[in-house]
Amino acid sequence: MDDVANAHVAAVTCRDPAREYVIGGVNAPQRAIYEFLRDRRGRPLPRRVPYAIASAAAAAQEGLAAITKRPPVITRGAVTIFRHDWPLDAAPAARDLALTITPLPDGLDRTLAAL
- pLDDT tens per residue, range 37-76: 999 999 899 998 999 999 999 999 999 999 999 999 999 9
**DSSP 8-state secondary structure symbol assigned to residue 70:** S
At 75, the amino acid letter reads T
Total residues belonging to the chain: 115
- In this structure, what DSSP letter does residue 19 have? S
User: pTM of this prediction?
Assistant: 0.64
Q: What are the φ and ψ backbone dihedral angles of 20, each rounded to 5 degrees?
A: -155, 160
The pLDDT tens digits for 82-115 are 888 888 888 888 888 888 888 999 989 988 898 8
Sorted by where each begins, the domain ranges of the chain are: 1-27+87-115, 42-86
Q: Establish how many alpha carbons lie within 13 A of residue 89's alpha carbon, considering only the half-sphere containing its beta carbon.
A: 4
Q: How far apart are CA 1 and CA 52, in angstroms?
A: 36
List alpha helices for the chain, DSSP H. Answer: 2-13, 31-41, 51-68, 76-83, 91-97, 104-114
